[in-house]
Structure 1
Amino acid sequence: MSKVEEAMLPQNGAGSGGDAEGSKKPQYLITLAATMLVFSGGAVIGWSAPALPMLEKANSTLPFQATTDESSWIGSLLAIGALIGAFPAGSLADMLGRKMAILVLSAPLLLSWGIIFFAGSAMMLFAARLIGGIGLGAICTIVPMYIAEIAEDSVRGTLCSFFQLMLCAGILYTYSIGAGATYYQIAAACSVLPVVFIVLFFRAPETPVFLLKKDRRAQAEKSLRALRGSQYNTTKELHALENELNKQGKDQSNFMQALSRREAKLAITISIGMMFCQQLSGINIVIFYASKIFIDSGSTLPPELCTILVGLAQVVSTLVSMVLIDKAGRKILLQISAASMAVCLTILGYYFMKKDRGDDVSSIGLLPVVAVITYILLFAIGFGPIPWMMSGEVLPSDIKGVVTGIAVSLNWTLAFIVTKTFKMLTDNLGNANTYFLLAGFCVAALLFCTFVVIETKGKSLQEIQDELAGRKNTKRSNVI
């Protein structure tokens, strides 16, 4: 039995590594297993970078050749599927449970890869990308919810960062394979990922929060022991969770009534606003069109290598973010991320301005590569992981399912709009002005996270709600 599977079983002996304060190791291993599905989703996102050039090129090994317009839809339909899948995902998690809903989401990814492998027309690829997107959108909604509900306050930021890390690692996986593999080899290598996830996650516990909501206290206690170690005293945490759920039950209101509460309005503003900031920063343009950006810039590096560097930059910087997020805090990382991205996009715009007006740019041919990779590094320490995480942290429980679905659907709607209109923007505004426009959005994101977003580092979910409602606990220490 693997170490991951051992951690998912309730421990009966003393050798679990836990104590009266609990062990964090099971939480890390279970989070790693859950986010293997996110890794699979990252592979779905990254597939278009190596696969679309193969589909557009006359190739005797493929049954058809895609037109430029068909390629555009093959890349963009993923976002449409994601926005469709995100909205009902919260309700699915409430109905089936977090664990079962996550397991079910491996099915659309497997089906998508099967269709891609056997596709004989662009229409089949349209269907495959739409189905894969539906699964991806639901994954983006439910997996962060699961992680937030199993994590202790002191490591919640780090564990939630696994989502972005595994998403980036999945993208890098596809980029790396695509550099030397055939169309069919890429599909085959990606199709095994959901199977690996099922094997690792099958024995994971359900979240204690969901079990208590269903009045299954004994199972909630068993789940906590699996998550914290056999020697952990579950009484205090179970009582705290029960008190919070009982309070929510007394305060239960319909969705429209909930919107009248100060904490709900501010939480929704933060959650929705950060999704706008994340997508309007232009991140999906960089991911989906990485090779094209480097080709247009006249870079002397092979486009395949540049694309891999982009993926590697995401993974490395997300690892840095995981170290900092529960130490430095969310807000400062968002501010650094937004300000730095604005600078990088301005530099990229300046390069294209010189190039497009006919200036000699041969001496600064590496500038766009450096700007894009730096942009990716700084996106991934802040606006990569934190918007997903903070939706789970700031939203009140009675509206979390609905608003999370709306926020994720909005995120993918914006991803589709930005990706689909990128060519139109560059055709009408030019490369330089397009990147200057994106830099302006990053400046707006800096202002938003400075004046609207609150710091959630080390705070319990109840303390966050108190702060949003204007009931700050002045006695509380901000030191973890």
Structure 2
Amino acid sequence: MLPKNGTARHAEGSKTPQYLATLAATMLVFSAGAIIGWSAPALPILEDQNSTISVHATPDQSSWIGSLLAIGAFIGALPAGSLADKLGRKMSMLLLAVPLLLSWGLIFIAGSVNLLYLARLIGGIGLGATCTIIPMYIAEIAEDSVRGTLSSSFQLMLCCGILYTYAFGAVASYYSIAIACTILPLIFVAVFFRAPETPVYLLKKGLRSQAEMSLKTLRGSQYNTTRELHSLQNELTKQSQGQTSFAKALNRREAKYALIISLGMMVFQQFSGINIVIFYSSKIFDAAGSTLKAELCTILVGLAQVLSTLVSMVLIDRAGRKILLQVSATSMSICLLVLGYYFMKKDRGDDVSSMGMVPVAAVIIYILLFAIGFGPIPWMMSGEVLPADIKGVCTGIAVSLNWTLAFLVTFSFQMLTSTLGNSGTYFLFAGICACGLLFSTFVVIETKGKSLQEIQDELAGKA
């Protein structure tokens, strides 16, 4: 990128088109967030045998309705990167509106639990593919100076989608929730249809003139594209030279290092216990003796995620990725230690009446600090650190791992609490968060303000 002085300032162009393209793209993420959030208001209605809906579910069936989303996400993530490499980022994203619409349609008409199973599986496929392709798209359209901020919008819109469903679930009927969520993929198609393809993908396909048009659309018509196109082309050429297979491409130092960072951050994101805290937040509040209603608890959780992700967007291109990951991991570990200590005293019969708000505060602070670091950054850095020639496949692998771990951690929570107790379970996840701090400090590289080529050079060990 040209330096910010003299005539170079004119060459920078405008950042507004990048923000608009990112906003349009992340409407798909908003839709995916609504699918995640649906189970919180919908499952209690499905389990209520007195409700007037056409389908009901037992607690065991509800567990599968919730868990099949993660299984579908695993299935959808694996081929999504390869699909984006073949059809393009933009076309693949537009096609993802189909499984999301189909999922909501099946939920609306379902007269049996089996149809709900199918709906959640299909919705999960769209969710997993969305989590794979959107970070890739944003990383490839954004300038270095705002790439962190724009990439953080993925987590922000995911949280907004979850909060959207929570809020509707508190006031609307089962069928009204489905209708309100069905319109979201349609809005995405309408606003994203005219967005540009990424210049990186177009250069990979040898479409240099179209890549130049894409850059002008994203940076402004007065932007001098020569230097940025040359830099992108050099990196793609360097990666493709001498590479005949995915295995050989993966054998490069920078590719292996990038994959370790991507997979490691996905592991620590899920093993931080975030899904347990979110899914069981109302139960944690109940166990702590809180008088807050379950609906209000879920809305508070969703609101905390949105607000802290907004803070992260402001800080991420100023403070940097590493420091936010370190603060996030440290704070989550402390909050989980507090939760563990509270339940240890409660379970052994000590008087904890004076500590009634302690677990509530610990949960809210935990979610706030997760959404500042380990919420958005793992998704974002996969798009930043992975080399372009293996980004599609490796992003799919990273996202599939994420959702596999989400399923395993959520499903094993009851077994862990039975074996280790509430306190032992939270102490375990606190220890994992401490390991996440070490990983962030000694393995993860700082990518703030660096071009994609500079990141690859650092991963390769070049000065």
**8 Å contact kept, 1:300–1:365:** no
Tell me the CA shift for residue 255 of structure 1: 2.1
> Which of residues 445, 454, 461 in structure 2 aligns to 1:454?
445
Partner of 2:31: 40
**8 Å contact kept, 1:252–1:398:** no
- What is the one-letter code of the residue matched to 1:187? A
Partner of 1:388: 379
1:91 paired to 2:82: yes
- What is the one-letter code of the residue matched to 2:251? S
> Which of residues 409, 413, 416 in structure 1 aligns to 2:404?
413
Q: Distance in 2 between matches of 1:289 and 1:57?
A: 19
Q: How does 1:205-284 map to 2 (within 5 A)?
A: 205-284=196-275
1:430 paired to 2:421: yes
Partner of 2:291: 300
Partner of 1:471: 462
CA displacement 1:125-157 (0-9 Å, x = unmatched): 111110000000000000110111100111111
Tell me the CA shift for residue 328 of structure 1: 0.5
**8 Å contact kept, 1:81–1:137:** yes
> Which of residues 290, 302, 309 in structure 1 aligns to 2:281?
290
**8 Å contact kept, 1:331–1:450:** yes
Partner SS, residue 292 of structure 2: coil
Q: Normalising to structure 2: TM-score of the pair?
A: 0.96
Tell me the CA shift for residue 429 of structure 1: 1.9
1:66 paired to 2:57: yes
**8 Å contact kept, 1:19–1:230:** no
**8 Å contact kept, 2:30–2:157:** yes
**8 Å contact kept, 1:108–1:135:** yes
> Which of residues 117, 128, 133 in structure 1 aligns to 2:124?
133
Q: Distance in 1 between matches of 2:146 and 2:20?
A: 13
Larger CA deviation: 252-261 vs 151-160: 252-261
Q: How many residues of Structure 1 are paired with residues of Structure 2 in the alignment? A: 455
Partner of 1:149: 140
> Which of residues 295, 298, 313 in structure 2 aligns to 1:322?
313
Tell me the CA shift for residue 404 of structure 1: 0.8
Tell me the CA shift for residue 19 of structure 1: 4.3
Q: Distance in 2 between matches of 1:199 and 1:190?
A: 15
**8 Å contact kept, 1:49–1:291:** no
1:122 paired to 2:113: yes
- Gap regions ≥5 residues in structure 1: 1-17, 473-480
Partner SS, residue 12 of structure 2: coil
Tell me the CA shift for residue 262 of structure 1: 1.8
Q: Distance in 2 between matches of 1:390 and 1:241?
A: 18
> Which of residues 79, 84, 88 in structure 1 aligns to 2:70?
79
Q: Normalising to structure 1: TM-score of the pair?
A: 0.93
Q: Distance in 2 between matches of 1:200 and 1:382?
A: 29
Partner of 2:6: none
CA RMSD of the aligned region, Å?
Answer: 1.3
Percent identity for Structure 1 against Structure 2: 76
1:175 paired to 2:191: no
User: Where in structure 1 do 4 or more consecutive aligned residues deviate above 6 Å?
Assistant: none
Q: Distance in 2 between matches of 1:296 and 1:63?
A: 32
Larger CA deviation: 143-152 vs 419-428: 419-428
- What is the one-letter code of the residue matched to 1:127? L
Partner of 1:352: 343
- Gap regions ≥5 residues in structure 2: 1-8
